[in-house]
Amino acid sequence: MKTLGTLAAVMLLGLMGLSSAPGAEPIKLRFSHVVAPDTPKGKGAEEFRRLATLYTNGKVEVEVYPSSKLYRDLEELEALQLGAVEMVAPSLAKFGPLGAKEFELFDLPYLFSDRAALRAVTQGPIGKALLQGLESKGIRGLAFWDNGFKLMSASRPLRGPEDLAGLRMRIQPSRVLQAQMRALGVVPQVIPLPEVRQALQMEMIDGTENPPSNMLVQRLHDVQSHATISNHGYLGYAVIVNKAFWDGLPSDVRRALERAMDEATAYTNAVAEADNERALTIMRAAGQTQFHQQTAAERDAWIAALEPVYADVAARIGWDRIEAIRSAVTRATQ
Ligand code: LMR
């Protein structure tokens, strides 16, 4: 039996947010995502789970739900806001439909030439402002996680932009990706990633765009005869939590989770780069898909064809924002 003194000390510690009572139930943190465990995001979620247990001494128990076991694409954002899950990591393309239109910048074609250019945005004032902008939606943004740069795959060779005309291509739910495909004469179709393989097999669509890691894990190379390594766009994630849940955590627990997230972010980004390189090697060796490395001249032609996408996005987020991003990116790559 606890003495009054011990009880008072436990209550005081609880009030100070420093500790939970011995034997208290762990705080449950449900992390839902839409891809398989053996993807960069899936591995990052597992690493965060491991580190969160370690750094909170088991006060937080992270439950990871991969492969849309709980929620699909846009549903997961709604579930987070409603508090049905505590953490999700949607791709940056999926924030526009939530009303966070500034996130559309991440889908702009050929904006980021490499990861250094991307970091200038995600790790600088622009990235910070983007995450802060989510607070009014009941969301706290914790980190940006990489997947990688996208290739375009289809049932025929894709060299010049004219080769895409008339194709039906799967996209994520994003107005920018819709504009991108329309600028190439493509008919865009929004389909959740786990359903894309079947849609290709049934010839409901002709192609899609993905970083190599997602293409391999979904086994899309079995059903796509051609792919062009165009690196025309980037696919990454924002790891976000329900703000009320986060603000209600004891401060020592929150600090421990922040540490776990920082380390899980570095881990995920390293894994993403290696996984994408490995995925390309594996798919090339498998031989079902013919991979074409886009030439400089082809790249210039795609950039010219995709120019209208910038005006489309500027109409929503303003040219001044796009220019600010372009100059941050240019400074980083000089
Ligand atoms: C997609 O829908 O293609 C991606 O957002 C999936 C993911 O989360 O990597």
Tens digit of each residue's pLDDT (9 = 90 or more) over 196-249: 999 999 999 999 999 999 999 999 999 999 999 999 999 999 999 999 999 999
| CATH number assigned to the domain covering 4-100+137-147+237-268 | 3.40.190.170
Q: What contacts 18, CB < 8 A, 6 or more positions away?
A: 250, 251, 252
Task: Give the type of residue at 241.
Answer: V
The enclosing H or E element of 101 equals none
Q: Does 265 contact ligand 1 (Cβ within 6 A)?
A: no
Using CB atoms within 10 A of its CB, is residue 230 exposed (0-12), middle (13-18) or buried (19+)? buried
Domain boundaries along the sequence of the chain = 4-100+137-147+237-268, 151-233+278-333
DSSP string for 28-94? EEEEE-SS-TTSHHHHHHHHHHHHHHHHTTTSEEEEEE-TTSS--HHHHHHHHHHTS-SEE--BGGG
- Ligand 1 nearest-atom number relative to CA 94: 5
Q: Does 34 contact ligand 1 (Cβ within 6 A)?
A: yes
The pLDDT value recorded for residue 1 is 33
Residue whose Cα lies nearest atom 1 of ligand 1: it is 193
Write down the mean pLDDT value for the chain. 93
Q: Does 214 contact ligand 1 (Cβ within 6 A)?
A: yes
Distance between Cα 305 and ligand 1 center (Å): 25
Distance between Cα 138 and ligand 1 center (Å): 23
| CATH number assigned to the domain covering 151-233+278-333 | 3.40.190.170
Q: What contacts 147, CB < 8 A, 6 or more positions away?
A: 39, 40, 41, 91, 211, 213, 214, 235, 236, 237, 272, 276
Which is more confidently placed, 30 or 328? 30
Distance between Cα 171 and ligand 1 center (Å): 10
Q: How confident is the model at residue 288 (pLDDT cuts 50, 70, 90)?
A: very high
Q: Do domains 4-100+137-147+237-268 and 151-233+278-333 have the same CATH topology?
A: yes
Residue whose Cα lies nearest atom 2 of ligand 1: it is 193
Distance between Cα 21 and ligand 1 center (Å): 40
Distance between Cα 219 and ligand 1 center (Å): 14
* 159-179 pLDDT per residue, tens: 999 999 999 999 999 999 999
* 108-162 pLDDT per residue, tens: 999 999 999 999 999 999 999 999 999 999 999 999 999 999 999 999 999 999 9
- Ligand 1 nearest-atom number relative to CA 172: 2
Reported residue count of the chain is 334
Q: Is 226 within 8 Å of 152 (Cβ atoms)? A: no
Q: Does 35 contact ligand 1 (Cβ within 6 A)?
A: yes
Q: Does 153 contact ligand 1 (Cβ within 6 A)?
A: no
Q: What contacts 326, CB < 8 A, 6 or more positions away?
A: 111
The pLDDT value recorded for residue 325 is 92
Q: Does 172 contact ligand 1 (Cβ within 6 A)?
A: yes
Distance between Cα 82 and ligand 1 center (Å): 22
Distance between Cα 250 and ligand 1 center (Å): 33
Task: Give the type of residue at 257.
Answer: L
d(CA 258, CA 208): 35
Does position 274 have pLDDT exceeding 70, yes or no? yes
